[in-house]
Chains A and B, each alone.
Chain A
């Protein structure tokens, strides 16, 4: 084909625009038309068509960067909102259950059910609701009570896991614990006061054995070192607290052994399922955006597509974050 053949319809459109008895174009429209004409006529700056290798690669990298950035942003900035909302709901539930004395007392409790409220200002914990279960998904709502241990206030050792980086990082302050700090735990059996005995890491000795009717609470979380230590706590840290006061009886029926996903620093591989379900949502919303952009204007597409894509991204991120270690 010749250039003239190609150029004719454009000239015609420009000519048509100018020849329809309109006043001469001014301002932005004039600039645009001028640029267009210039672009068409000067072949050196002709627009390269989509589909070349480098463009694709750039797009892919950009997409990757965007997704990674989004996920990091989600983890750092958005998950605290999710957790605080969960905590508010759980706190109301716990208040109601405590007032009606229907709070769980131990034994077999479903994961996700709130079981206690802990408060330790010196550790940075203010009225945190502890849920049952320590899988990554459970710890998204706040600290989690390990299911094969007793509840706080009962004779024996109670273990509570909490996150140190994401989802509000409730247990980020454990590293600053000192012996003698107090923690108050409220369960369906009453209010118990614990005193910090020691903080230990890998290689430290366990505390002295419990008296037969003693109770210990162990808070487990993670801590990191280095420049990005706050974002990547990779070592576990424990704080042992001793009950001051009398213990309550503990019902039977407790889980004997928790699955691997509920142990320390374990991701929850079962989150792959919701991830697999959320990914098609994301892809579907992206496809919708592309489809809509071809038919609608930019702002319309933005208005409709942005919340859809954001929601799908959020769902994917929420599923994906459960694959990360639960104490993170």
Chain B
């Protein structure tokens, strides 16, 4: 007893020291963590609010007459570390209400509103102390069409010529005109002009002018197309002075003429248009620039006009009756320009920084577009760190990446699920991120405001995918199989029951009858169809049972076996009516519903289209009757009349701020089949909580080697009703044998980074962007992290060992069977084949070849995993494989081991056998036989 106490007393001193150290360690760790979190939170709160007093002050008879004065306050939600096409939400208050409202605030027509709030992106800084070339000016602000920077009037002295704040050079008759006048513009402009050239980042000046005759920048358009709209926004202020808009910034990636980037500063400029501050006298100007004295009062009155529209009045479609003096087209005038509010913008390093900074051959990761946003932030961290290496994510469909990995063409794949056929080589599937798919929507209600939330069931998704909506009245009347079905999602009673908001019924019905998604094979489609298949109502409907409102599945999809990797377009109905009326289809009828579906192969394109509400149904005939007629996409839907539903990844939806729908998870047994609202049904949208809840239901499957998503459990378990069913666990698949030691250690480093430092949320290099749930213990992901770390060790060791996902196999000792493909020769002394076996052929010249060229040639000091490439020399008869396949190597790995001497096998014995001695044998035979014959003859003669 005393011994034990004594033992404890002896131990207590070091024990105390240890606990003290532990406490200190904890303290410092917590301080560091809080500092880091503060830094992270400081980084995210880059919102800016600016306020300014804006006025319209006329100069009448030498005295200031204040016509209007307001205090405008503008708020932006993010201004730092911006990436291309990132939205900034802007709100303002205190501005003058807009008249002649145009629905599409990004169109050039919106410039003709009265008193808009013009929001544009300008190159430069808004700092008078900066050099002039670095400051913003109307010439460095981006507008897409020439009419937004050029105006012409038949008056001698329109309002913009009487601007009291304009410089004398700006008050001439043809202010800013290019000199000499370009030939294309000859005779096009008469009267009073004002030109504002666009100064591109490379110094070129594009004058634009009437019909763009004096030259347009490459990104400008003469006529707005159906594609990506300009980001110049003519925001609308309501009668209480408030307004909101979403502004999409463009970096030099998508707008090289504007040229904003991490090295070229830009500013967001908000101009609350108050109208021209007029000066009809023009004292001090040359005589030609002064209005004649007798008309001075008339010009003053017309310049000081306050507008033709009642505040918030809609602009009629055809008329062009806004008051020029207060029009948004004069945003560049000095009166309006001096009223601007501005906020500096900073941009994240461009996506191609790695190509510029680091010219090494990269380690390639082929795979899922869902990981694109993460690798965009992770890759710059790797390539700008001289102790690390370059990684590059090559976007590939996940099933294709798995096939390439199995065929040894690539070395690492980013995928979202196990392969259909298990890998034929030891490959570890290490979780690196938790994300998922989202159904995003762009739907406007009757007032023209976008819906904020949407609820969808798997059966609705099945209806959209299977082309079961008729899409337009002609098809509905002619295609008998779909005659009893609603035209589109918006008129489906099931949809109306769940989403009762009244919609603006002017939307196009064709794009509203399909889910815009990808045509190629993808794990995302597998996940979506697994989710649909796990719902009994959707499954029954797909098998032919009509839904409670009588809608039936398209017979071409009836009984379709799910899940599938690529969604097939099976409908083959050719409409005789459209074949005649749509000239592009005249004479060569193609099935109509697949055109309506219009899937694309690149998931990034889906994201782009959903961001700008561009419908991809290929049903519009361009240049009908001409020789170059073709079917083109439906195009951009008019804001206020949109109805689009698409499938994107969660990271894309978060980056571009797309609205995500809530998906049905659990249905109470008591919920009615023919429902009128969502009672008894749970709907969950993607969020950190719902992803965390879904992750908790993932169970390891030793046979598959990963954690498959249990769709049936998520559907049937009532406790899983808050789990987001679109959750997907992204894995990095890396083989654990057959890689060179350098590649193996690089991928191991990547795996270790991905589950540790790479899971810190944020927008800086090396952090995890929004749309991914960080894999941390707090989110219940410690099992994934531990597995990936052991996977990293297995990849580095390259012993062919794949840890079991449930942790059930022990780690082998390093002296276990080497991974090199040495096969013992079972040769016999009689001729054995292949004394010099051939090396392992790679089916194609993979990029691996070039990597090795740079790394293997020089005697590089690669970390010594050379232990794996040495093997015991095979005894005796050598190492050629008796089967003589080309894969029988000379007992060497294909890796360059330029430093260590490798023990190689022995040449086998190949003898010629008795036939080898044929010639001497024949000579001997001849000798013997000749002697014998001679002897016989002599004997005979004697």
Is B308's CB within 8 Å of the partner chain A?
A: no
The winner among A59, A150, A228 for most chain B CB atoms within 10 A is: A228
**A256 x B886 contact (CB < 8 A):** yes
Is B388's CB within 8 Å of the partner chain A?
A: no
Q: Of A70-78, A123-131, A276-284, A303-311, which stretch is located at the interface?
A: A70-78
Is B919's CB within 8 Å of the partner chain A?
A: yes
Contacts of B933 in A (CB 8 A): 57-62, 65
Q: Which of B886, B903, B904 contacts A207 (CB under 8 A)?
A: B904
Is A264's CB within 8 Å of the partner chain B?
A: yes
**A206 x B905 contact (CB < 8 A):** yes
Contacts of A205 in B (CB 8 A): 873, 903-907
Which residues of A in the span 153-211 have a Cβ within 8 Å of any Cβ on B?
Answer: 156-157, 159, 165-166, 200-211
**B919 x A232 contact (CB < 8 A):** yes
**B913 x A208 contact (CB < 8 A):** no
Question: Which chain B residue has the least Cβ–Cβ distance from A166?
Answer: B919
A203/B907 contact (C-beta < 8 A), A57-B936, A72-B919, A159-B836 known: yes
**B929 x A54 contact (CB < 8 A):** no
**What class of interface size applies to chain B in its complex with A?**
35 or more
Is B922's CB within 8 Å of the partner chain A?
A: yes
- Provide the bound-state CA to CA distance between A288 and B849, in Å: 67
Question: Which chain B residue has the least Cβ–Cβ distance from A156?
Answer: B839
A234/B904 contact (C-beta < 8 A), A59-B933, A218-B836 known: no
**A204 x B906 contact (CB < 8 A):** yes
Is A265's CB within 8 Å of the partner chain B?
A: yes
Contacts of A258 in B (CB 8 A): 884
Contacts of A52 in B (CB 8 A): 940
A222-265: CB near B (< 8 Å → 1, else 0) gives 10100010011111101000000000010010101110100111
Within the complex, the shortest CB–CB distance from B888 to chain A, in Å, comes to 10
- Provide the bound-state CA to CA distance between A157 and B137, in Å: 67
B247-272: CB near A (< 8 Å → 1, else 0) gives 00000000000000000000000000
- Provide the bound-state CA to CA distance between A265 and B922, in Å: 19
Number of A-B residue pairs, CB cutoff 8 Å, is 202
- Provide the bound-state CA to CA distance between A203 and B904, in Å: 12
**A209 x B836 contact (CB < 8 A):** no
Which residues of B in the span 823-841 have a Cβ within 8 Å of any Cβ on A?
Answer: 831, 833-836, 838-839, 841
Contacts of A10 in B (CB 8 A): none
Q: Which of A65, A76, A200 contacts B926 (CB under 8 A)?
A: A65
Is B845's CB within 8 Å of the partner chain A?
A: yes
- Provide the bound-state CA to CA distance between A2 and B375, in Å: 122
**A328 x B916 contact (CB < 8 A):** yes
Question: Which chain B residue has the least Cβ–Cβ distance from A231?
Answer: B919
**A222 x B930 contact (CB < 8 A):** no
- Provide the bound-state CA to CA distance between A62 and B898, in Å: 64
Within the complex, the shortest CB–CB distance from A177 to chain B, in Å, comes to 15
Is A113's CB within 8 Å of the partner chain B?
A: no
Q: Of B7-15, B88-96, B602-610, B850-858, which stretch is located at the interface?
A: B850-858
Question: Which chain B residue has the least Cβ–Cβ distance from A210?
Answer: B839
Within the complex, the shortest CB–CB distance from B878 to chain A, in Å, comes to 8
Q: Of B297-305, B692-700, B889-897, which stretch is located at the interface?
A: B889-897
**B898 x A211 contact (CB < 8 A):** yes
Contacts of A165 in B (CB 8 A): 919
A75/B895 contact (C-beta < 8 A), A61-B936, A220-B835 known: no
Contacts of B836 in A (CB 8 A): 157, 159, 218, 220, 238
**B913 x A64 contact (CB < 8 A):** no
Contacts of A66 in B (CB 8 A): 926, 930
A58/B919 contact (C-beta < 8 A), A209-B897, A249-B845, A264-B835 known: no
Q: Which of B833, B886, B917 contacts A260 (CB under 8 A)?
A: B833
**B926 x A72 contact (CB < 8 A):** yes
**A265 x B913 contact (CB < 8 A):** yes
Within the complex, the shortest CB–CB distance from B361 to chain A, in Å, comes to 13
Contacts of B891 in A (CB 8 A): 206
Is A318's CB within 8 Å of the partner chain B?
A: no
Which residues of B in the span 735-754 have a Cβ within 8 Å of any Cβ on A?
Answer: 740
Question: Which chain B residue has the least Cβ–Cβ distance from A71?
Answer: B922
A203/B917 contact (C-beta < 8 A), A64-B929, A212-B894 known: no
Q: Of A16-24, A82-90, A292-300, A319-327, which stretch is located at the interface?
A: A319-327
Q: Which of A156, A202, A222, A260 contacts B909 (CB under 8 A)?
A: A202
Question: Which chain A residue has the least Cβ–Cβ distance from B940?
Answer: A54
Within the complex, the shortest CB–CB distance from A11 to chain B, in Å, comes to 28
A328/B918 contact (C-beta < 8 A), A205-B904, A212-B856, A263-B831 known: yes
For the complex with contacts A55-B936, A202-B909, 16 further pairs of A-B residues with Cβ separation under 8 Å are A57-B933, A65-B928, A68-B922, A69-B930, A72-B919, A157-B838, A159-B838, A203-B909, A211-B856, A211-B898, A228-B919, A235-B909, A263-B834, A265-B910, A266-B831, A328-B912
For this complex, 12 residue pairs linking A to B, each with C-beta atoms less than 8 Å apart, are: A57-B936, A62-B929, A75-B919, A75-B922, A202-B910, A203-B906, A206-B890, A208-B904, A212-B894, A236-B911, A238-B907, A264-B831
Q: Which B residues are closer than 8 A to A by beta carbons? A: 740, 831, 833-836, 838-839, 841, 843, 845, 849, 852-853, 856-857, 873, 879, 884-886, 890-898, 901-913, 915-920, 922-923, 925-930, 932-934, 936-937, 939-940
Q: Which A residues are closer than 8 A to B by beta carbons? A: 48, 52, 54-55, 57-62, 64-66, 68-69, 71-72, 75-76, 148-150, 156-157, 159, 165-166, 200-213, 218, 220, 222, 224, 228, 231-236, 238, 249, 252, 254, 256-258, 260, 263-267, 323-325, 327-328
What are the nearest 5 A-B pairs in CB distance?
A: A65-B929, A209-B892, A65-B930, A61-B933, A58-B936
